[in-house]
Structure 1
Amino acid sequence: ENFLILQAFIASMACYNFPLLANVPLWNSKGYIIALLLHIALSEPLYYWIHKMFHRDYLFYQLSYYPPFLRSASILLQVVLAYGAESDRILGIPGEELKGIYSAREFVWWYNGHPDCSDLDPDLKSTDTAVILGQGNVALDVARILLRPTSELAKTDIADHALASLQESSIRKVYLVGRRGPVQAACTAKELREVLGNVKYLLDY
């Protein structure tokens, strides 16, 4: 968009300084040639010169199209990039280390094809019930994966090994366990609609 503004500015200045250009229609060959000359001789060199000048280190943070954390990087001592959990949260609940209990990170990485959890192999056959601790978007996403028909999952980018396991899954009931009521749930309406659209549900609190 900056380049278009520059083009319009140069064209306006050219017409202002050379009134004859204002009467040249752009849809004939003469108009095309004049526009091309203005573009090659003025617009391109001026644009790249300005672009190079404003990309120097001492000016980069003044440009509005840089992300906020880059604009502030030169004046702040520390910049924190928060892009998701890389480790599990230990709840301190007796038995959480038993077989068949998985962290959200492990399970999500498993069906998303993360190489660190591709061999997780959760047991989805020995019971028809799964319990998920949490009421956030991740909890709902896990529930959606467990309950969504595999014919629909096959159309997504879910990992092949996860799809194969889910096709043999016996899970038919999923409980979401939260500390508080549905009003305090941390999930978004979009995630909730995707889960409730295909299943029967019961709220008990």
Structure 2
Amino acid sequence: MRLLIMGPQGVGKGTQAALISKNLGIPAISTGDIFRYNLKNETPLGLEAKAYIDKGLLVPDELTNKIVKDRLAKDDASNGWILDGYPRNDSQVAALDSILEELGTPLDHAIALNAERSVLMDRMKKRAEIEGRADDTPEIIAKRLDVYEHETAPLIDIYRKRGVLVEIDSTGGIESISEHILDALK
């Protein structure tokens, strides 16, 4: 099964992607994890991405599209995957459509996780305290949520019109949310 998981920062995409990955036996592919790896290891891509991330901006499409295409072409993704954090704008939707057509692997579902902004802010503040993430200051969190609302939230309608959207309220318990997702995918 080939899936996208969408939603604003702090909604639980990574947590749910990991649970779905384990349950369905497909890799969870997080663009955020790929970038954090590159940042931690100070690769050229990581240093380039850091300049954007530190300002609360998203990494440019050209860098992200290349990473996604290379990752989806790997052997472990041949039977399916769940993409976390991509696509995030119209341009990336078009790029993903091209990638999937080239690979001969159509998208099965786009999962949209939803929560109120105040819930998201609280979750990310707690994450910053626990993980010590420099990119989770209140100012950067608010800016990222604004960017999501402006650029990424409109993509939900694209996948709704295509008939592949699954919408889930992510304010419950982790296991309950996961059960709702898996039931909706059946």
- TM > 0.5 between the two? no
Larger RCO of the pair (alpha carbons < 8 Å, separation 6+): 2
Bigger proportion of residues as strand: 2
| Alignment TM-score, normalising by the size of structure 1 | 0.27
| Alignment TM-score, normalising by the size of structure 2 | 0.29
